[in-house]
Structure 1
Amino acid sequence: MESGFGFGSLWSGGLIYVLPFLFVLTIIVFFHELGHYLVARWCGIRSLAFSVGFGPEIIGFNDKHGTRWKLSAIPLGGYVKFLGDENAASTPDRGAVDQMSAEEKREAFPTASVSRRAATVAAGPLANFILSIVIFACVAYVNGRTVADPIVASVVEGSPAAAAGFAAGDRIVSMDGEPVTYFSDLQNYVTGHGEQPITVTVDRGGREIDLDVTPKIEARDDGFGKTYNVPIIGLVADAESSSFRTESLGPVAAVGYGVEQTWFVTTRTVDFIGQVITGRQSADQIGGPIRIAQVSGEVSNFGIGALLNLAALLSVSIGLLNLLPIPMLDGGHLLFYAFEAVRGRPLSEQVQEVGFRIGLALVMMLMVFAFWNDLSGLGGA
């Protein structure tokens, strides 16, 4: 009896998602941990291990500084283990520190100054934002930037824009006094202002007119089986009216574009988290590894540029996630260091232990919730 399971079905059913997912995640994790490692070196802190992934080591080597660089079996994160750490979460090993020589204590993480520890921890998320800027800039430098003039081709019937008096042929000049250069500027501005009233200045036949419009929230399909709520006003651009085109960017302009895009993604992500907390967005949009793998596989069909842009988006998200003030995450460590700086001494070991336990529970709950969303999405597909 023929099983029907061949290389083609294996690729379409698994590898088409797994390989792009591993490519994206490895880039993000490597640069996050590289940020920790490089700043630790700069601060005189010794790194014992640099791992991409968790669990058993697959392959690795020791460098001249005594750091074990390795690729581990479970590709869902990574860590840098410093001298004096008990585990990959940088929990201090007080017993080991007490047994260290004076020279070792000078290179140990737990005995470093608050400023050096904080700089080392903050460097991971910072590396994620830098990576995002670099990726956006490089892709834009190579492929150019697709833009469109801010000219209205049509107005959606029954939309807020129709009620406000917009007309086909209007050229958007500014939003609340902020100049608009491209149609995407209009879209980004509306997306970032929710249901707040906006004053839009348009050029209509050589005469500037102010129109007041309040976006409304609509559910949109993200193209990967999930819906999300987005503010819209109902203006449409097309290739003929708005002159869709690709503009080349020089190195400086490309970097500026990378900063602009990274800032936009950062602010929109923070806004999304706020909307989930307040109930304006559904928490079922939060995805885990399965969903990331699915999206990575789908996006890879559009080429390496699209996959790299996804990596930039995810790099920002991981950077922000790690800055949450939850023990076990970088933000939790920074919170402890802030208390230490104010008090003049570290929090007690008991308090830190309770904090790490709570942090572990919260991280595990978030992971389970994300996996549940992933599995629910698969079940509904």
Structure 2
Amino acid sequence: MQTAIAFILIFGMLVFFHELGHFLFAKRAGILVREFAIGMGPKIYGKTHGETMYTIRLLPIGGYVRMAGEDMDGTELQPGYRIGLIVNEDNIVKKIIFNQNNKQLPDLLFLEVERADLEKDLFVEGYDEEERLVRYQVARDCVLVENGRELVIAPHDRQFNAKTVGQRAMTIFAGPLFNFILAFVIYLVIGLIHGVPTYEPIITEVVENDPAAQAGMLAGDKVTAINGQVVEKWQDLAAIVQDHPNEDIKVTVDRNGQSVNLNMTVKEVQQQDGEKYGQIGVRYESPREFNPLKAVVYGAQETYNMTVKIFELLGMLITGKFTIDALSGPVGIYKATEQVAQYGIMNLMNWAAMLSINLGIMNLLPLPALDGGRLLFFGFEALRGKPIDRQKEGIVHFVGIVLLMILMVVVTWNDIQRFFF
């Protein structure tokens, strides 16, 4: 139960912030947002506020922000339609009702449509009950009611495709951007609550019978140099030791204010891939300091470092050092969350930050149906000076969605076999 709650909270937070980026920048550009959804598939909860419906959907495989003009969400009033109108005191149409029993609404003005434009000129023209040709102006926030379903009209200037390339690109880019911002905030909170690691090379524990213990190293010793090379951070110590397997080294430590020289032979350790590295047998936990300014720097550094690591892993996947079997889907992430949750809230927060960066990077890949694929099309549009044919672009994205769904099924099946069989 604890794992399920942790998974739902982390998943919900990552998707929420990603879609929040799209949502806020769409609003900033003046785009009408029809739906803000967490999850995919059947709706399990929905509430309309203003012109946007906020929904939670059944399948935890993503989310979306549905914007006016991105799909066929408009309704055309064809000649011959019989509609009912609700107008305000200025005789401007606020609601248009059709395809339902209008007799239950006696205050309607009935009209048989002759012409209508609900995108640019915003009017409806037709014959009233007395067979007179009349014309009404339509409000920009007019609501269409069809078979009981309400839909706010989308004037052309409020549609996604009517915006500039820059506005559309920023709206799409904002999703991954907010994932990086979320990761930064999580690392910042970790730094504020748990302290910022100083990485001072102070030994936490010495392993019995290993080279460091045999040379006389003690817990609390601060390593200042190895073979005369100055050591400032734990990373310096680890790098030097790992690069000298089966070699003699002289380690200088600060012990209670006194300098002590220790001679030891680095132990050689072999990895599964055959690569060898050095080890002296010490354990380390970095000292931490509580400083708000350093916490901000720590947040930025950790976000950058994790981004680099994920790109390195992605490069290994492209070059074949990793196979598709190494990928994890929702099942694998759930199982990993279960393991991480056992080590406390800070480890869970680190895990959430890593997943957020990973989600941001994956969405920026120039693949159809992903944010990066859409940004690629915007780049082509900027270079050409005109948009790519919408139908052709739609086909490319549709193929991309199908391929991503196939990949998701394969990865999920691999996860199920790995963890349950």
Regarding TM over 0.5, the answer is yes
1:127 matched to 2:168? no
Q: Which runs of 5+ in 1 are unaligned?
A: 1-14, 87-91, 156-166, 196-200, 207-214, 220-228
* CA displacement, residues 61-108 of structure 1 (integer Å, 9 cap, x when unaligned): 2223x111122222221111111122xxxxx76997x96236611111
Q: Structure 2: which amino acid aligns with 1:247? A: R
1:349 matched to 2:334? no
Q: Which runs of 5+ in 2 are unaligned?
A: 77-116, 122-139, 141-154, 208-215, 244-248, 254-258, 260-267
Question: Hey, what's the Cα distance between the residues in 1 that align with 2:19 and 2:225?
Answer: 44
Structure 1 contact 340–347 (Cα < 8 Å) conserved? yes
Match of 1:17 in 2: 3
Q: Structure 2: which amino acid aligns with 1:143? A: H
Pair 1:357–1:72, CA change in 2 (3 A): closer
1:85 matched to 2:70? yes
Q: Structure 2: which amino acid aligns with 1:234? A: G
Pair 1:137–1:69, CA change in 2 (3 A): same
Pair 1:185–1:73, CA change in 2 (3 A): farther
Match of 1:68 in 2: 53
* CA displacement, residues 107-152 of structure 1 (integer Å, 9 cap, x when unaligned): 1111111000000000000000000010011012101245553378
Match of 1:234 in 2: 278
Structure 1 contact 54–77 (Cα < 8 Å) conserved? yes
1:37 matched to 2:23? yes
* CA displacement, residues 35-59 of structure 1 (integer Å, 9 cap, x when unaligned): 1111111111121111111223222
Q: Structure 1: which amino acid aligns with 2:316? A: Q
The one of 46, 50, 64 aligned to 2:32: 46
Q: TM-score, normalised by structure 1?
A: 0.73
Q: Which piece of structure 1 moves more, 229-238 or 125-134? A: 229-238
Match of 1:112 in 2: 163
Structure 1 contact 85–109 (Cα < 8 Å) conserved? yes
Structure 1 contact 323–331 (Cα < 8 Å) conserved? yes
Instruction: Kindly report structure 1 stretches of 4+ aligned residues shifted beyond 3 Å.
Output: 92-96, 145-155, 167-174, 184-187, 201-206, 215-219, 229-233
Match of 1:101 in 2: 120
Match of 1:182 in 2: 233
Deviation, 1:300, is 1.8
Pair 1:370–1:107, CA change in 2 (3 A): same
Match of 2:144 in 1: none
* CA displacement, residues 230-262 of structure 1 (integer Å, 9 cap, x when unaligned): 9873335635xx6x4541232221121111111
Deviation, 1:297, is 1.9
Structure 1 contact 145–249 (Cα < 8 Å) conserved? yes
- Greater helix fraction, Structure 1 or Structure 2: 1
Pair 1:310–1:272, CA change in 2 (3 A): same
Match of 1:340 in 2: 381
| Identity fraction in percent | 33
Question: Hey, what's the Cα distance between the residues in 2 that align with 1:339 and 1:61?
Answer: 38
- Greater strand fraction, Structure 1 or Structure 2: 2
By relative contact order (CA 8 Å, sep 6+), the higher-ranking structure is: 1
The one of 141, 144, 148 aligned to 2:195: 144
Match of 2:256 in 1: none
Pair 1:180–1:30, CA change in 2 (3 A): farther
1:376 matched to 2:417? yes
Question: Hey, what's the Cα distance between the residues in 2 that align with 1:342 and 1:70?
Answer: 37
Question: Hey, what's the Cα distance between the residues in 2 that align with 1:74 and 1:309?
Answer: 25
CA RMSD of aligned residues (A): 4.0
* CA displacement, residues 137-187 of structure 1 (integer Å, 9 cap, x when unaligned): 1012101245553378989xxxxxxxxxxx98994769xx9x964324666
Q: TM-score, normalised by structure 2?
A: 0.66
Match of 2:213 in 1: none
Question: Hey, what's the Cα distance between the residues in 2 that align with 1:324 and 1:21?
Answer: 25
